[in-house]
Structure 1
Amino acid sequence: MRHFEHFPAGSTYELGATRLTSEDIIDYARAWDPMPFHLDPGAARRSPFGGLVASGWHTGAVVMGQFVRTLLAGSACQGSYGMDEVRFLAPVRPGDELRGRATVEEASPHPRRPGTGTVRFVVEAVNQEDMTVYRMRTRLLFACAQPAGTEHEAVSVRR
């Protein structure tokens, strides 16, 4: 099980890859983001995108799934403080393969909760051309592996 101590600043984790199909894009859009350029290939061709594109929220959901399955599920994560930044940097099209990556930007013991620490991640996705298409910054709370009350050296890096 991964605890706070397993996420030193500067560490990078590959999160896997997911290829999106037209059907994936349309199904997600139908349920959650029914804009014409996500739903209808004809309307999408007439849009500024010039073709069908995934919702940014769909892209985020795919990458979040990678992040949870690879790093958080089964870890000592105790929740999130939310997202500090979410950016949809380039369109994601049918056939694109999203490869997620999480980098620890900062890790430090929690100032008021003994036995816990906070970890700030930059989570990004690149497509098959290594173009960054998505980025978010998020801060998570993790239990420490060491007993509560044990002093930890702050491991803090901010970029």
Structure 2
Amino acid sequence: MRHFENFPEGDVHELGSTRLTSEDIIGYARSWDPMPFHLDPVVARTSPFGGLVASGWHTGAVVMGQFVRALLADSSCQGSYGMDEVRFLRPVRPGDELRGRATVEAAAPHPRRPGIGTVRFVVEADNQRGEPVYRMRTRLLFGCVPAEAGAGGTARV
């Protein structure tokens, strides 16, 4: 299990990759962002994008899923203060592969809650060509390694 101490400033964590299909893009858009250029490839050709593109929120949801699976699910994460500077940097098209990474921008003990630390991440994704498509900052709360735990962050039995 990862704790606050496992996220030193400057660390970079690769989050994996996810390829989006037309079906993924249209399915998400039907439920959450039904703009015509997310729903209909024919209509999308006449849009400023020149073709079907994923919702920026879909891109963010995919990258958040990568972030949770790669780092947060097996951690002492206790929630987030929210997201800052969410940016959709380039359209994501069918067949694009999103490659996420999270960089620890800052880490500090919580000023009022003993045993808790805050970690600010820059979470980014590039497509298969290395072009940036998404970026956001978030600050999360993590429990510290329990006092009875060893150096590896696992409690001694």
Equivalence map 1:71-110=2 (5 Å): 71-110=71-110
Amino acid at match of 2:67: F
Aligned counterpart, 2:11: 11
Q: Distance in 1 between matches of 2:25 and 2:141?
A: 32
Q: Distance in 1 between matches of 2:124 and 2:82?
A: 16
**Gaps in structure 1 of 5+ consecutive residues:** 149-159
Aligned counterpart, 1:154: none
Q: CA deviation at 1:85?
A: 1.5
**Gaps in structure 2 of 5+ consecutive residues:** 149-157
Q: CA deviation at 1:84?
A: 1.4
Aligned counterpart, 1:145: 145
Q: Distance in 2 between matches of 1:12 and 1:54?
A: 26
Aligned counterpart, 2:155: none
Q: Distance in 1 between matches of 2:147 and 2:131?
A: 42
Q: CA deviation at 1:147?
A: 3.1
Aligned counterpart, 2:30: 30
TM-score (norm 1): 0.92
Aligned counterpart, 1:47: 47
Q: Which moved more, 1:139-148 or 1:77-86?
A: 139-148
Runs of 4+ with >3 A deviation: none
* Other structure's SS at 2:123 match: strand
> Paired residues, what number?
148
- The question of whether the paired residues in 2 share the 8 Å contact of 1:21 and 1:95 is answered with yes
Task: Name the Cα RMSD after superposition.
Answer: 1.0
Q: Distance in 1 between matches of 2:113 and 2:39?
A: 46
TM-score (norm 2): 0.93
Q: CA deviation at 1:131?
A: 0.3
Aligned counterpart, 1:112: 112
Q: Distance in 1 between matches of 2:44 and 2:147?
A: 55
The superposition leaves residues 16-51 of structure 1 with CA deviations (integer Å, 9 ceiling, x where unpaired) of: 000000000000000000000000001100000000
Amino acid at match of 1:50: G
Amino acid at match of 2:38: H
Amino acid at match of 1:131: E
Aligned counterpart, 2:133: 133
* Other structure's SS at 1:112 match: coil
Q: Distance in 2 between matches of 1:110 and 1:64?
A: 24
Aligned counterpart, 1:156: none
